[in-house]
Amino acid sequence: MIHLLAEAGDLARETVEVEGADHRHLFRARRLKVGDRVRLIDGRGSARWSVVDQVTAGRAVLRVEGVAPVFEPARPVALFVSALRPERAAWLVEKATELGLRELQWFVSERTSRSLPARALERQRRIAKSALEQSGGAWLPEIGVPVPLEEAAIGAGSVALHPGAATSFMAVAGSAEAIVVGPEGGFSEREIEELAGRGAVPAHLGPRVLRTETAAVAALAVALTAMS
């Protein structure tokens, strides 16, 4: 099945035009033809079937049809992650989007060693689109430019990964609405206290030291699987 992320409002139209990179992907790489079916997703949790109606060298028209099923987690889960090297950040975005991430907010905390340039965020948004189309998801995760940890919207329902925590992540995974993942050096004790003060529950993912992006993807997989 082929999934295409449509523009805002496209699902309410009778036809949708496809040009540029999407056209090349669908009609050159994937070789779709008139009469083939495409599942249109709007990135906001809805999907509709469509059928290829016309194809020319640079443009195609899809005829929008009935409502298509969506494959979303029972509850949205957000990630708050310490800013990472662009290559590792891109991998996190791809994997987390496939798994069903709803929202990603990068942050900078005491031990975060870098920020993320605007160019890296643009690339992440393109990667998220591809990963969403690849996986058949219907929600395109929003990706927020790095903010100071204190300004990130972390509150009750969040779980902050912390090696020194008494609670195991598994015990809280099924109810986590957001997962907060610190830099390689972890959160400072002051930051963990401050996060706990905002209602986040500190929890550990086991005794190993995981890279930031590994911890984020592993915890998201556990949280989404635990609620299914």
Q: Site residues (CB under 8 A) for a copy of itself?
A: 71, 91, 94-95, 98-100, 134-137, 168-170, 173, 205-211, 214, 217-219, 221-222, 224-226, 228
Q: Closer CB to a copy of itself, residue 56 or residue 228?
A: 228
CB of 23 to a copy of itself, least distance (A): 22
Task: For residue 134, count other CB atoms closer than 10 A to its CB.
Answer: 12
**Distinct helix (H) and strand (E) counts, the chain:** 6, 12
CB of 174 to a copy of itself, least distance (A): 10
CB of 170 to a copy of itself, least distance (A): 5
Q: Closer CB to a copy of itself, residue 153 or residue 209?
A: 209
As given in the structure block, the two tokens for residue 183 are 């830099």
3-state secondary structure of 11: helix
Q: Which amino acid is at 202?
A: P
Asked if residue 221 lies in contact with residue 99, where contact means CB atoms within 8 angstroms, the answer is: yes
Q: Closer CB to a copy of itself, residue 62 or residue 203?
A: 203
Q: Rounded to a whole number, what is the distance in angstroms from the first to the last CA of the chain?
A: 23
3-state secondary structure of 17: strand
CB of 209 to a copy of itself, least distance (A): 5
Q: Closer CB to a copy of itself, residue 13 or residue 214?
A: 214
